[in-house]
Each structure stands twice: as C-alpha cells, then as structure tokens.
C-alpha cells in the first residue's frame, strides 16, 4: 500500500512545483486482478460477518502530552464541529472548560511549552503539524480577557492537604484537590506563587499579568496560601503530618549542577543557571560583567519530543523537531536569552553540534539574530582563574559525541574569555534544612507510579523534585498525584494507572450533556438488543490502551493546507537592549478556527460523510439530527451491510474498524 505517491517537505508552499497526490496504490497497482476476481471478492464479502464498529482510540498528540490534555477534543470545538451544550456559551468558553479539565494554565503553556504534541501530530505525514500551541494560547488569552473562572470547588470533604511549593506541580495539585472538595494550604518559600513559571522563565516569555491571572483563578477556589514560608526551616515535617491528612511535595529542583571541571568549586563568579534565573526574575542586579559564558548540557527534557514521534510513527521531522540525543537544555537557552537582553556579550556552548541542540531552530535563530554567539561541539576542560581567584574564562576543546559521552579532540584546545560563567547542565532538589529524610540519595524524592513517596505514608510528590523535566510534565504530575491523594483520603488507594494516562473523551459524558443518556437497564436477559435504548451500540473505547498511528487513517482525504503561524517580533542586534516585550503574537479567532479545521481528528469521527457517501449498500446512515453527539454521527444498518470494508477504507480519522457483527 502506498498512501503517498508524492509528498512535499514540511513548509513547502502551495505554489511549489511539488504537489500532493495521495493514493492508496502506485500507477498500475490494484487490489483487484480483473473483473472475475472483483466479483469473487464481492461474493466473499457478501458472506462476511465483519461489519463496521466505531472504535475510539487516543491520538498521538494527546498520548504525547505530559499534562494529559484532551487536545483533539478542544480542536473539535475550535473547528466548530463540537457545539457548546448551551446557546449562551461561546465556543471559546467551551474549549477553555475542556482544556482546564487537564491543565489550568492554557495561556502560559500555549506560550512556553515545547509542544511534544506537535511533534507527534499525525498531520506531519500530510503537510505540517497542527498549531496546537497557538490554539491553546488563543483560548487561554480569550479566557483571561473575558475573566473566565475555573469550575467551582467540590463540596468540602473534611480532609486537609498541605501542598509544599507553589510552582506548576503544586498549583495543579491544589486545583484538582479543590475540585474534589479537599481543603488545601500551599506553603511557598518565595514571596509569590508560580515557581519556575515565574522565577525560572523571563517575563517576556511568560508575561506576569497573564501568569497572575491564571494563578489567581486557582486561589479563587478557596486555597489557603502561606508565602515566605520554608518548610523544614519555618515549619517542620512533623508539624505538617500532625495538621494535615496528606502532604504533596512540589518543591522543584532549586539547585543547579556546577561544571565538573577544575576551578569551578568555590569560585565567586561561577554560578548555575538556576541561581541566575531566580535572581534575575526577583529583580536582583548582577555586576558589570561584559562577557558571559553559558554552558549547556546534561539532563534535558527533549526525550518527550522523541516519544511523541515514536507514538505517532512519524517518518520525517517537522520543522521544530528536536534530536532525541541532545544535551543543551532549555534552561541554558533561557539564561542566554536573559543575558542578551541585559546588554551582555553572551556565548552559549554545547557539547552537541548546532543542528542537534535541544532548542528549536526558531529559538536558536532568534538568539543568534539578537547577538548571542553559539558554539557547538565544544566541551569545557577547566575554569581559568586570575590572580584574585576569580574566573577569567574557560579552557575549552572541540569534541565529538559518542552516544551521550563527549570525546575531546586532541590538539583542539582554546581559551574562551568570560567575566561570569554560568552552568546550565542540570538541576536537583534542595532537600536540606530539615528535609534530609526525603532525599533518595540523589538529590530527589523517590516515588512510585502513583506519585506516593516511598516508605512515607500520606506523602506524595511531583514535578522537578522527582525528575527535572518540562513545565507540562510537572502539571501532569500534579494532576495525577491529586487523584492518587483523593483515593488515599477516601480509603481506596490506587494500585495501577492506565497505559495511556491522559484525559480522554468520554462518550457517556458527551451524551449526558446533550440529554441523550441511555435508558436504565432492567437486567432482563434478551436476544437482539440492537434496538434497545439501554446501551451504546456499535462502539468500543480503546483510548486507555491504544494510540492510533497515521497508517490507520485515510490520508488521501486531506489536501495541502499551510499551517497558520503566529506572528513573531524579531529584534536584531543592539535593539534588544532594554526590550522586554513579548515576542509571540496570538492568533485571531479566524486563524484559530482554521487551525482547528486542520486537525485530522485521529481516532474519532469528525463528520466528513465519507462512509455515508461511499457505502455501496447504503447501510451506513446518519443518526437523526436530534440524537447526534460527538462520536454518534453515523450508524450501520447491519441487515444491509455486506462487510465490504469500504467505509473503513475511506474513513479519514481511522474511527471505523471492521469487527464481528450480525
């Protein structure tokens, strides 16, 4: 089978000479060998007991999202297919409600998430990924501009939970625990909430007014907040255990890793990226350094993007794809970005060559455009000290990477001058001052798959303190940990999680909000139940176990449609000095809708009518309009179906699978 006879590269314009000609077969090929074979196939099909079944599976975008977004669901809302359940609700509000079922920070994550969902998007096999991040930002900004609220807190359960750390993991855990009705108190060492979203990312990437709006929504649910309070120093673990029924540790990875080279330890002007970003975002002033070296590498988060592609079975890289064996972390890139805006001469070094750096091509090009010198395939050997014991630069050499291990190239040594050297090669938890008992010996907190702290009853943890990763990963930890805590408080602790552990479309919920619930079942055993109204017929939900690959879609349905791109403000050279304006401009409503329409709705019907049009027996019919809902647009009249498979062959979303029928 050959779905694509001629496919353009990602980014090709519609006017290019390369044209899309999606076909199931190459010229001269056919699944039939003459008329006799065709008629024989028809007669065989006439005797088939295989008829269409509507099978819901998880799309790779959702399977790739660490926070567990039901991405396909809110893209269906954006495309105007899934209509709001009430006439007074806008589609933006409906989409926002769907987003915050998994992640309460759509405006923030629409800006800074590296979007592994887009790397996994099956649309990469047609032209280019759907701009998921851009639609998320549009909806998040619309919600902020229109003062939308989060769902109300649940009825109070009488249980109290302490959340240690007001970053993405802690805030998310607090949000979902309040939805369950538990009382929540957040303990935060800083003056303000936000964690790495505030103290680890410059304000031109996460505008503070936008961030405050999203955090305040969670506070409005009735969360108690105790800032400037360091647990272990101001409050002991024993006091928490006495006052609260459960404790969630979301303290982040507040200690950066120094360079493992001679001269680093104890040198005053050698600092970590975590220290620099925290100080910068609190408004502290650094000295008058003019030459800054940022060393990137170590434990980065890019493996998420690699997993996304694997889940989606993508066979070529999208524009923003990142090599899974990269070493330069997002922290290093953010440090350099901050430095350049402080008017400093910044050099960013990476063990890997430029094309294999973690940062996307767009971010890398922006940095170079704005004056950052980026050096790839180099490794530090020694911190060079002056007569006062301060660093004056780094002794470097060129290197080749053998897997994840750098191999120095003999005779390639050189010196790089610098007044400040910043190490952005990884992070670990800060578990001193009364928190030593939580340390697993590696600077982190050890948990099981339920995010329960090992050998510590009623203690749970998530975010960077268990594994430094993306903001969206920490949000996912907080969401799942909150569910584990809820089960623990209810006396029914969980012992396993779904294979595909994300927020899924639920057909029964969809039917309920449309007042189309199945009727009660009287538990009378009977034959021929297809006409019964007590069950959802002809439907199977495999979403917790299966991710649908692009090979199960009829991609010939989709024409080339260029991705709608957000406008960006490009600043060159010295013009960046003192400029802290946001670079990314959001989509318009029309652009957001158009981008939603590019979604191929993998694993769920998007009402294209192909199965109705191409069924030779007219056995596939539309559900009466008043009974329709997402996933319930068509049905099969089994008495007319001959099992010819055509409906499954022409289904663009792969929602139709052939199964046993009668």
413 and 454 fall within a common domain: no
Locus of tokens 């907190």: 445
Ranges of the chain with pLDDT below 70: 1-49, 283-289, 297-331, 333-334, 336-344, 358-363, 528, 571-580, 660-662
**What CATH number should be reported for the domain holding residue 422?**
3.50.50.60
Residue 382 forms part of a structural domain: yes
Residue 474 forms part of a structural domain: yes
**Domain housing 299:** 257-428
Give the model's pLDDT for residue 536: 82
Q: Encode pLDDT of 501-553 as tens digits.
A: 999 999 999 999 999 998 888 888 877 677 778 878 889 999 999 999 999 99
Which tokens belong to 337?
A: 């970005």
408 and 296 fall within a common domain: yes
- Taking the CB of residue 559, how many other CB atoms lie within 10 A of it? 10
- Quick one: DSSP state of residue 422? E
412 and 450 fall within a common domain: no
348 and 420 fall within a common domain: yes
The angle at the Cα of 428, spanning 344 to 246, to the nearest 5 degrees, equals: 130
For the chain, what is the domain count? Answer: 2
462 and 450 fall within a common domain: yes
Give the model's pLDDT for residue 373: 82
Dist CA 274 CA 464 (whole Å):
13
351 and 420 fall within a common domain: yes
Q: Among 462, 489, 516, where does a domain finish?
A: 489
Give the model's pLDDT for residue 31: 56
Q: Mean pLDDT of all residues in the chain? A: 84
Q: Encode pLDDT of 289-341 as tens digits.
A: 678 888 874 333 222 222 222 223 334 444 443 333 233 345 676 676 666 65
Q: Are 167 and 474 in contact (CB under 8 A)?
A: yes
Kindly list the strands in the beta sheet with 373-375, ordered across the sheet, starting from the edge strand earlier in the chain: 270-272, 420-424, 291-296, 345-350, 373-375
Rounded to two decimals, the pTM is: 0.83
Find, among 119, 474, 132, 175, the residue nearest to 320 by Cα.
119
Contacts for 565 with CB less than 8 Å, ≥ 6 apart: 131, 134
Find, among 180, 192, 178, the residue nearest to 223 by Cα.
178
Residue 379 forms part of a structural domain: yes
Q: Give me the torsion for CA of 141, 147, 151, 154, rounded to 10°.
A: 140
Dist CA 595 CA 131 (whole Å):
6
Euclidean distance between the first and the last CA atom of the chain, given in angstroms as a whole number: 30
Give the model's pLDDT for residue 6: 40
CA–CA distances in Å: residue 20 to residues 4, 235, 280: 8, 64, 49
């Amino acid at each position: 089978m050959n779905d694509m006879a001629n496919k353009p590269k990602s980014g090709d314009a519609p006017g290019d000479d390369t044209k899309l000609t999606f076909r199931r077969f190459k010229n001269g090929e056919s699944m039939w060998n003459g008329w006799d074979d065709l008629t024989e196939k028809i007669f065989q099909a006439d005797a088939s007991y295989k008829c269409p079944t509507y099978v819901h599976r998880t799309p790779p975008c959702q399977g790739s999202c660490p926070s567990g977004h039901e991405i396909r669901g809110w893209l269906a809302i954006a495309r105007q297919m899934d209509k709001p359940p009430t006439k007074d609700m806008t589609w933006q509000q409906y989409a926002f409600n769907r987003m915050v079922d998994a992640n309460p920070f759509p405006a923030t994550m629409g800006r800074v998430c590296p979007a592994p969902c887009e790397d996994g998007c099956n649309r990469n096999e047609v032209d280019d990924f759907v701009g998921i991040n851009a639609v998320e930002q549009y909806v998040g900004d619309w919600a902020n501009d229109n003062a939308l609220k989060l769902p109300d807190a649940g009825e109070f359960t009488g249980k109290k939970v302490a959340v240690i750390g007001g970053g993405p993991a802690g805030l998310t855990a607090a949000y979902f625990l309040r939805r369950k009705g538990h009382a929540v108190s957040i303990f935060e060492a800083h003056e303000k909430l936000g964690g790495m979203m505030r103290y680890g990312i410059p304000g031109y990437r996460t505008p503070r007014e936008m961030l405050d709006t999203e955090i305040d929504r969670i506070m409005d649910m009735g969360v108690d907040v105790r800032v400037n309070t360091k647990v272990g120093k101001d409050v002991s673990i024993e006091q928490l255990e006495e006052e609260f029924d459960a404790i969630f540790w979301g303290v982040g990875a507040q200690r950066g890793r120094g360079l493992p080279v001679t001269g680093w330890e104890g040198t005053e002007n050698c600092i970590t990226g975590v220290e620099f970003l925290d100080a910068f975002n609190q408004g502290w002033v650094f000295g008058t350094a003019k030459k800054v070296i940022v060393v990137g590498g170590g434990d980065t988060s890019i493996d998420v993007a690699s997993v996304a592609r694997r889940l989606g079975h993508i066979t070529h890289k999208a524009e923003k794809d990142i090599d899974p064996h990269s070493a330069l972390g997002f922290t290093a890139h953010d440090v350099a970005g901050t430095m350049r805006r402080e008017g400093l001469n910044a050099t960013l070094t990476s063990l890997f060559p430029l094309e294999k750096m973690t940062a996307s091509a767009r971010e890398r090009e922006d940095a170079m455009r704005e004056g950052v010198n980026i050096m790839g395939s180099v490794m530090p050997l020694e911190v060079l000290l002056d007569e006062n014991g301060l660093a004056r630069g780094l002794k470097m050499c060129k290197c080749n990477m053998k897997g994840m291990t750098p191999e120095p190239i003999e005779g390639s040594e050189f010196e790089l001058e610098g007044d400040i050297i910043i190490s952005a090669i990884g992070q670990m938890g800060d578990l001193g001052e009364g928190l030593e008992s939580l340390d697993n010996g590696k600077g982190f907190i050890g948990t099981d798959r339920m995010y329960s702290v090992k050998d510590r009853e009623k203690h749970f943890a998530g975010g960077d303190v268990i594994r430094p990763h993306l903001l969206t990963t920490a949000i996912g930890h907080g969401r799942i940990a909150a569910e584990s805590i809820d089960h623990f408080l209810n006396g029914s602790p969980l012992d396993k999680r779904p294979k595909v552990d994300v927020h899924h479309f639920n057909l029964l919920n969809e039917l309920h909000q449309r007042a189309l619930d199945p009727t009660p079942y009287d538990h009378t055993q009977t034959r021929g139940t297809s006409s019964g109204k007590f069950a959802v017929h002809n439907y199977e939900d495999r979403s917790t176990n299966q991710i649908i690959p692009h090979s199960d879609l009829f991609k010939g349905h989709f024409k080339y449609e260029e991705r709608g791109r957000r406008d960006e403000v490009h600043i060159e050279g010295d013009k960046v000095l003192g400029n802290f304006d946001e670079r990314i401009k959001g989509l318009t409503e029309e652009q957001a809708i158009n981008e939603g329409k590019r979604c191929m709705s993998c694993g769920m019907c998007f009402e294209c009518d192909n199965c109705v049009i191409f069924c030779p027996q007219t056995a596939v019919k539309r559900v009466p309009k008043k009974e329709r809902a997402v996933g319930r647009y068509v049905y099969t009249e089994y008495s007319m179906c001959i099992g010819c498979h055509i409906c499954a062959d022409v289904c663009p979303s792969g929602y139709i699978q052939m199964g046993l029928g009668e």
